[in-house]
A and B are shown apart, each in its own frame.
Chain A
Amino acid sequence: MTLLRAEGLTRHYPLPRTRVLGPRPRLTAIENASFTISAGETLGVVGESGSGKSTLARLVMAFEKPDAGSVAFDGKDLHSLSRPDLRRLRPEFQMIFQDPYGSLDPRRTVGWSLGEPLRAMGADEGCKIADSLVQVGLHAEDATKFPHEFSGGQRQRIAIARAIITRPQLLVADEAVSALDVSVRAQILNLLMDLQEELGLAMLFISHDMAVVAALCDTLMVLKSGNVLEQGNAAAILNAPQHEYTQSLLTAAGTP
């Protein structure tokens, strides 16, 4: 069953004028990207900085509107929903971010941050916060602490706990393990796999590291400067990359 369907997604950003008259130059962040994610499946998006992968995440999360194309979540076009309707739908798709130091409000306790999505949907907090913390390998008592009391890996666990607390169907992860040490990264990747099996989560997993994407993804999309170079079955691309650029990313991720 298709959970998310993106068609012809295109987004340009205006650049500062270089001449007084004439058209304003623009940066193509993403050009004509189409993909689908089925329930419980993971799509990996690989590319380097400037490839448009973060723009893709913001479009899927409906943080900004595309210049062309559409994103349909569960059959509903995200970018044509009214604001209240979109807010009601938000608990169904959540996001985890790259920087574990920036994704938690430093002035709020962990419990407060975890409760935010619940309060937004008007749900009862109950013991969900404690459950969610335990689910990501932390302790219920951690809810009263502040983010600075945790290591990077632990903070990323907290961010994941917040993302799954509303029992979403889709998780968007933008470079979610890139800032972590190798051994911590493996722990978090395993946690994501556990949660995916437990909750039947679909994932849009964005990374610059082929090795990480390989460990987690069913399908793959390779981006370069806003263009889709190749996409399809992950194993097929990893075993026989069609594009030189994909090959070079694989080399860079190679084993020591």
Chain B
Amino acid sequence: MTRLPANFLLGAVLVSLMVGLAALSLVWTPHDPTALDIRNKFADPSMTNWLGTDKLGRDVVSQLMLGARNSMTVALVAVLMGGSIGVVLGLLAAGIGGWVEDLVMRLADLSFAFPALLFAIMLAAVFGPSLSNAVFAIAFINIPIFARVTRASANQIWTRDYVMAARAAGMGTFAISRDHILPNIAAAIIVQATIEFAVAILAEAALSYLGLGAQPPAASWGRMLSEAQTLMYLAPELAIYPGLCIVAAVLGFGLLGDGLRDITDPRLVRER
């Protein structure tokens, strides 16, 4: 076994930390994260409140754990949704070619020109701000990204001799895409998904910060950040904790994605 790249290892540690926190919050948090305790507001870190409390006396650690869960869920759902639609579109584009390919790719270009945040604001304006609208918005920006990656890798596989052999055997476009293309581009898609996961976490935090994502009293790193903003001079640590969590999660998934790419891309291995 060759040595794993450092970015992969560091990323894996950070990601397991965050995923672990999120998973733990399902069964246990030190306190009820939404329980108010006004008398105990702005408490310093102590044995009962490890990182203290916020302006309404809610436990910061519990909120951060819930925020992790919220971030992971949003990113997972959004990347899965956007990713699967994008992968299907990319496979269609590469498999059928011709005007289908042109159409899919021009649509992808078009949506790249359309900022995601703007789309989320539009959704919020029409349907009202909510976490699910934020998920849809993030999923939507993932579609063209995955469609592009999928089409590019799939087009490479389509020129392989074993795909030609499958065509010669009389296999149809759908069967070839399922049996040969998808398994052979899976690595590239997983790498992309990991990187997009980081982007999705950041996007969720941004939307919640703007009030377009998680609504009170749901805990979210972005919302914690925006609430702490007004108290920057009074209690700066309340902004620092969720900020650090966002950095750790985004960095973790980003490094993990880069590391996975280094491992799976033989061209990079040779240069390393």
**A residues at B contact (CB < 8 Å):** 61, 63, 87-88, 90-91, 93-95, 97-99, 102-108, 113, 116-117, 120-121, 159, 162-163, 166
A108 to B171 Cα, complex, angstroms:
16
Q: Is the interface of B mostly helix, strand, loop or mixed?
A: helix
Q: B161 touches which one: A88, A94, A102, A166 (CB < 8 A)?
A: A102
Cross-chain contact A103 with B171 (CB below 8 angstroms): no
Cross-chain contact B167 with A105 (CB below 8 angstroms): no
Closest 4 CB pairs of A and B: A117-B169, A90-B170, A103-B161, A120-B170
Q: Does B172 contact A (CB under 8 A)?
A: yes
- Give chain B interface residues in 143-171, CB to chain A under 8 Å: 160-162, 164-171
Q: Which of B161, B167, B169, B171 has the most CB of A within 10 A?
A: B169
Contacts of A113 in B (CB 8 A): 162, 165
Contacts of B164 in A (CB 8 A): 61, 63, 95, 97, 103
What is the total number of residues of chain B having a CB less than 8 Å from a CB of chain A? 17
Contacts of B180 in A (CB 8 A): 105, 108
- In chain B, what residue has the closest Cβ to A168? B168
23 CB contacts below 8 A, A to B, read A61-B168, A87-B172, A88-B170, A90-B168, A94-B168, A95-B164, A95-B168, A97-B164, A98-B161, A103-B164, A105-B162, A105-B179, A105-B180, A107-B183, A107-B184, A113-B165, A116-B169, A116-B179, A120-B170, A120-B171, A121-B169, A121-B170, A166-B169
- Give chain B interface residues in 183-215, CB to chain A under 8 Å: 183-184
Cross-chain contact B165 with A95 (CB below 8 angstroms): yes
Q: Does B35 contact A (CB under 8 A)?
A: no
- In chain B, what residue has the closest Cβ to A90? B170
Contacts of A120 in B (CB 8 A): 166, 169-171, 175
Contacts of A94 in B (CB 8 A): 168-169
Contacts of A121 in B (CB 8 A): 169-170
Cross-chain contact A97 with B170 (CB below 8 angstroms): no
A88 to B175 Cα, complex, angstroms:
15
Contacts of B161 in A (CB 8 A): 97-99, 102-103
User: How far apart are B180's CB and chain A's nearest CB, in angstroms?
Assistant: 5
Contacts of B179 in A (CB 8 A): 105, 108, 116
User: How far apart are B166's CB and chain A's nearest CB, in angstroms?
Assistant: 6
Q: Which of A87, A103, A116 has the most CB of B within 10 A?
A: A116
Cross-chain contact B170 with A87 (CB below 8 angstroms): yes
User: How far apart are A100's CB and chain B's nearest CB, in angstroms?
Assistant: 9
A120 to B169 Cα, complex, angstroms:
6
Q: Which of B160, B161, B171 has the most CB of A within 10 A?
A: B161
- Give chain B interface residues in 115-142, CB to chain A under 8 Å: none
User: How far apart are A134's CB and chain B's nearest CB, in angstroms?
Assistant: 20
Contacts of B167 in A (CB 8 A): 61, 63
Cross-chain contact A117 with B162 (CB below 8 angstroms): no
A113 to B160 Cα, complex, angstroms:
14
- In chain B, what residue has the closest Cβ to A91? B170
